[in-house]
Amino acid sequence: MLEELFPRAHSRYSSLPILGEVLEELCKWLHSRGYPGAACRRRVAAAPMLEQLLRNQHVRSLCDCTESNLTTSVPKPRKWTAHMAHALGRSLMLYLKDIGRLSLPLLTASDRLVEAYCEYLKTVRGLAKATVEKHATIAAEFLQFLEPDDRLQSLDDLHVTDIDAFLTKAGKRLGRASMQKVAAVLRAFLDFLAAEERVPLGLAAHVDSPRRYRGERLPRALPWKTVLTLLDSIDRSNPKGRRDYAMLLLIATYGLRRSEVATLDLDDIAWRAQQIRVSRSKVGTPLLLPLTDHVATSLMDYLRHGRPDTPHRRLFLRVRIPLGPIEATAVTDVFETWAARAGIRLPSLGGPHCLRHSLAMHLLRQGKPLKTIGDLLGHRSVESTCVYLRLNVDDLRDVALPLPAAQEGQS
């Protein structure tokens, strides 16, 4: 394929000492993922620059190349060539990962400790993958704050002042709700370290959480008319609009989380049974929901006129190259883009999750029981459902009793 892209100069790239051996297969891999020839050509043209940057990091072979080498070799692009070298490095990293040739970095002592903690969370506590990842991130930040490469052998000297310093630093960039999660994770991590006899016992008891009050946040639900306005504002004359409308309609109809929308597969839609199967990462059990006519029509419109023809089984795919499944963050981008175009003012910490709140409030105002709403949202307790049902001022006005009429002769 290099000869097709560079009929006269292909040997210039295939002879590169580090990257030359993979450029031919990399081009074929990019082409299979939907990249046009021009995009492949631009990336290959930047190969000499990336080659020199890797050599500056003392990389002499792809066998020695790690993800860190490829992500840090090119600084933030300021010129076109550097931009394409950055794109080539990113594409090369994905390709080497795909074929299993990307060298793994050497694990530090702190990395091994975090891995052991993650294994404990999965096997002993049975936490979901997403929860384990959050624990791992905070635990790694804590060890990095302690300069683990120098201090890990003496964690038994860890003192409460070290913990307070970490929490103080984190508190400067996080709110009370986030700090509650940090404090909870830190307590669990310290308990794990104490059980492993790496830190003194009782340190976890000194980690205090910020005080928060139940229901202190303002309602995050949008008025239902606003939700309908948002859906109506989506332009469904193109593939992206058809996909975006189907995604947001699923959230507004069933109250799905963004991760649940992103991980839907084609096999999750049972057309004849008129059901949709939703995988719930939080509880590990699927939820079967009725496939409404409106949702079925929007999905069919997307599948017939918007979804790329690829072997991927995920329901919602990217509309730009590289073709492939969307991430959960794409659902947030879609929601915020169309909300901005519709001129909708979002509540604090809105995002697509506020559609989940909106549905719960809409069903409550229709007189639906809390148990029915909780079953639709996938909750195992009414306590979880009540979080979504904080009433606003308009609802409280309906609850207020009328003032008694004043009797004659009374002032």
172 is catalytic: no
Check 134, 282, 312, 314 and give the catalytic one: 282
Check 242, 307, 379, 390 and give the catalytic one: 379
Distance CA 373, CA 401 (A): 27
Residue 229, CA distances (Å) to 193, 212, 261, 310, 325 in order: 52, 34, 21, 33, 28
Rounded to 5°, angle at Cα 40 from 20 and 47: 35
* DSSP string of 315-333, one letter each residue: SSB-SSSSPSBPPHHHHHH
Check 245, 357, 388, 390 and give the catalytic one: 388
My answer on whether omega of the bond before 322 falls inside 30° of 0, hence cis, is: yes
159 is catalytic: no
Distance CA 374, CA 385 (A): 5
For residue 125, give the DSSP letter: S
Per the listing, tokens 């002032």 go with: 411
282 is catalytic: yes
353 is catalytic: yes
Check 356, 357, 362, 390 and give the catalytic one: 356
217 is catalytic: no
Check 187, 353, 357, 362 and give the catalytic one: 353
Distance CA 140, CA 356 (A): 32
Q: Write the Ramachandran bin of 202: left for phi over 0, alpha for psi from -120 to 50, otherwise beta.
A: left
388 is catalytic: yes
Q: Active-site residues: which are they?
A: 257, 282, 353, 356, 379, 388
